């Protein structure tokens, strides 16, 4: 009996142990399944149940002018969100929210009636509205901070800067062109919930591996020059009753755009009150017949090819010249006899220009127009640039050759015109126009700087010099067509233009709708500033020398009065530079040489150079350069001109600082 009991106990114990072992193995297996095999899926499920994620709009870098003036910045604004599942009384809530935010109540009601956990009600509201929303303390309604693009100067430079959409992505202008550069990686906002779905807290989630900061952009634009250009252009458009206007200021030696203005303007802070025509950058996107401002490129080509000389006399047919079935007449019914080539420009003779084109021949003429950049995009770093229209030369008739000579039958852009005129000012060298000088990181350390780019040598320096003197007579002579652009104590060169607009409804050039223009540069001896002014359909004073030339003069005079421009040197010396962001810049004719000329008389001047330029110049002068900082050289020790000692060491400080 005892033996049976003991046997039974052993069996029971073994059975229990087996059961426990099976249960333990099952438990371990289940744990392995949950923790390892299904761990990621279950974790994701838990996160979906207890957290909610929202991708926030990314921040954007700052856009500066060349002096450090902030033209586009990001500020934090409140946006209103809703969790419809937590709203108790949707009728009352929709009415209350609609009243605070000035929204349609039915629209709000429709949004919060949908059974979901999140919806936007209003983006980037005013601070006053945010205070009211917060004070209302409505269950299911909450505020989230979002970056909002803000343009401190309102209308100023709007066509250059462009604007962003509700998703903080660039839609026009530089905001669009450099959207990927300016925009940071989006951040995510997470809600953590309890078991009942109640929000416990919010947190921002941003993986370091995904971190991508937007860069700041530094422009070639000087906001002060931009302001005075826009002011004078707006006044001229109003005074002449014009449909609109364009003005560009360019450094002919580097291609830097110092100002670019369109009239009429728009406010990038609130574009909803404007149409796409208002924010169209006509300076680069619109094409037009240039009129007589095209004549300098013809004469330059003819001089370069030596088919004419400045003193050659051309019979201008007393005001009427027949070519095939077309009769060419002088503007304003003028009657010229014999004019020298110089006088053809001075008095803007259409017939004289047509005869010069005949001497040059259409093949050579077309070749030079292409070399000046017509018929192709300049490559300026702005969106929407047009190529203009320069028809294949094999399709030119004799009439075409004659009319293109005085700017009719060819389509150009404003940026092409100022670039081509700048080539004449720049000893025949065509520079690529550009608007962005460089990029900096969030701490304003220089990331990349753009240097001027030579496109090609279009005409020889000798021909360019002859053209400068001829264009100077257009302005500085008492009987020149551009005399109203003359600036006291400064030699100005330029050319007027009055172009008939083509009437597509009648398929003829209009007799009353014109586009008047003037473009020129100064000082003639050492051109530093080139300016183009165009007025579209002025109702009074429809001649370029009367309507557009005075605008050039006003802009030029005010630039000379407000900025210290040393007309004897090859650079602009700027005073009263704002202290936010110090950007020292040079305006060397050929920066690719990096100023390597050796100077054995004393310590070289490194001020205004980049680190790369300074190092090359130091090497050329056998100077041991000690570099501090980033950006552009702002000071050095010893000072420039200090007699060189035996150790030939110089410490140079570079800055891009707030």
Residues labelled as active-site residues: 292
Count CA atoms closer than 13 A to 234's CA, side-chain side: 12
Provide CB contacts within 8 A for 443, sequence distance 6+.
Answer: none
Alpha-carbon gap, residue 515 to 237, rounded angstroms: 12
Taking residue 456's Cβ as centre, other Cβ atoms within 10 Å add up to: 13
Alpha-carbon gap, residue 420 to 430, rounded angstroms: 7
Both tokens assigned to 16: 């229990």
- Pick the closest to residue 85 from 63, 43, 118, 59 (CA basis): 118
Alpha-carbon gap, residue 505 to 503, rounded angstroms: 6
* DSSP annotation of 214: P
Where b means 16+ CB within 10 Å and e means fewer, 594-621 reads bbeeebeeebbebbbbbbebbbbbbeeb
Alpha-carbon gap, residue 480 to 545, rounded angstroms: 9
Provide CB contacts within 8 A for 644, sequence distance 6+.
Answer: 600, 602, 603
For residue 99, give the 3-state DSSP assignment: helix
- Pick the closest to residue 329 from 353, 348, 350 (CA basis): 350
Provide CB contacts within 8 A for 221, sequence distance 6+.
Answer: 65, 66, 71, 157, 160, 257, 258, 259, 260, 435
DSSP 182-204: HBPPPPEEEEEE-TT--EEEEEE
Handedness of CA 5, 7, 10, 11 (dihedral sign): negative
Residue in the structure block whose two tokens are 């015109």: 417
Count CA atoms closer than 13 A to 580's CA, side-chain side: 12
Instruction: Please state whether 613 falls in left (phi above 0), alpha (psi between -120 and 50) or beta.
Output: alpha
Both tokens assigned to 534: 């165009």
Alpha-carbon gap, residue 644 to 658, rounded angstroms: 34
Alpha-carbon gap, residue 369 to 391, rounded angstroms: 11
Both tokens assigned to 332: 């304003």
């Amino acid at each position: 009996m005892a033996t049976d009991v003991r046997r039974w106990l052993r069996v029971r114990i073994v059975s229990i142990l087996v059961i426990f072992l099976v249960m333990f193995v099952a438990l371990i297996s289940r744990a392995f399944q949950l923790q390892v095999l299904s761990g990621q899926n279950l974790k994701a499920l838990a996160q979906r149940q207890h957290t909610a994620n929202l991708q926030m709009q990314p921040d954007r870098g700052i856009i500066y002018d060349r002096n450090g003036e902030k033209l586009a910045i990001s500020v934090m604004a409140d946006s209103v969100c809703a969790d419809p599942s937590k709203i108790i009384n949707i009728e009352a809530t929709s009415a209350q929210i609609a009243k605070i935010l000035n929204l349609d109540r039915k629209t709000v009601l429709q949004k919060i009636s949908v059974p979901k956990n999140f919806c936007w009600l209003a983006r980037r509201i005013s601070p006053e509205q945010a205070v009211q929303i917060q004070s209302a303390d409505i269950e299911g309604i909450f505020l989230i901070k979002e970056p909002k693009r803000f343009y401190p100067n309102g209308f100023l430079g709007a066509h250059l800067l462009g604007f962003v959409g509700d998703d903080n992505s660039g839609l026009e202008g530089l905001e669009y062109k450099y959207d990927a550069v300016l925009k940071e990686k989006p951040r995510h906002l997470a809600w953590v919930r309890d078991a009942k779905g109640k929000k416990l807290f919010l947190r921002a989630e941003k993986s370091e591996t995904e971190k991508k900061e937007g860069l700041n952009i530094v422009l070639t634009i000087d906001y002060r020059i931009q302001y005075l250009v826009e002011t004078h252009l707006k006044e001229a458009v109003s005074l002449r009753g014009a449909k609109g206007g364009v003005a560009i200021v360019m450094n002919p030696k580097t291609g830097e755009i110092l100002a670019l203005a369109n009239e009429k303007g728009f406010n990038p802070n609130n574009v909803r009150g404007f149409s796409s025509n208002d924010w169209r950058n006509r300076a680069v996107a619109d094409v037009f017949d240039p009129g007589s401002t095209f004549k300098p490129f013809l004469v330059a080509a003819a001089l370069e090819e030596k088919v004419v000389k400045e003193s050659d006399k051309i019979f201008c047919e007393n005001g009427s010249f027949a070519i095939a079935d077309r009769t060419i007449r002088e503007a304003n019914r003028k009657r010229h006899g014999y004019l020298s080539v110089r006088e053809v420009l001075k008095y803007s003779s259409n017939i004289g220009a047509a005869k010069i084109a005949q001497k040059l021949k259409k093949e050579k003429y077309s070749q030079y127009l292409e070399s000046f950049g017509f018929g192709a995009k300049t490559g300026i770093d702005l969106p929407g640039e047009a190529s203009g229209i320069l028809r294949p030369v094999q399709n030119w008739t004799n009439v075409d050759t004659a009319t293109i000579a005085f700017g009719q039958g060819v389509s150009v852009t404003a940026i092409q015109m100022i670039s081509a005129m700048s080539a004449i000012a720049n000893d025949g060298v065509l520079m690529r126009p550009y608007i962005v000088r460089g990029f900096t990181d969030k701490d304003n350390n220089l990331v990349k700087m753009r240097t001027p780019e030579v496109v090609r040598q279009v005409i020889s320096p000798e021909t360019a010099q002859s053209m400068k003197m001829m264009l100077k007579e257009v302005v500085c002579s008492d009987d020149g067509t551009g005399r109203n652009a003359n600036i006291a104590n400064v030699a100005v060169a330029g050319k007027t233009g009055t172009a008939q607009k083509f009437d597509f409804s009648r398929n003829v050039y209009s007799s009353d709708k014109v586009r008047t223009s003037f473009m020129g540069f100064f000082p003639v001896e050492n051109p530093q500033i080139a300016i183009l002014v165009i007025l579209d359909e002025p109702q009074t004073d429809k001649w370029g020398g009367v309507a557009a030339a005075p605008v050039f003069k006003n802009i030029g005079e005010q630039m000379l009065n407000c900025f210290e421009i040393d007309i004897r040197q090859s650079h602009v010396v700027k005073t009263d530079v704002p202290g936010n962001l110090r950007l020292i810049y040079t305006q060397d004719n050929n920066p690719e040489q990096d100023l390597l000329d050796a100077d054995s008389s004393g310590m070289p001047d490194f001020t205004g150079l980049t680190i790369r330029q300074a190092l090359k110049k130091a090497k050329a002068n056998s100077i041991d350069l000690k570099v501090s900082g980033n950006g552009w050289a702002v000071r050095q020790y010893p000072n420039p001109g200090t007699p060189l000692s035996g150790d030939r060491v110089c410490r140079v400080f570079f800055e891009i600082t707030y």
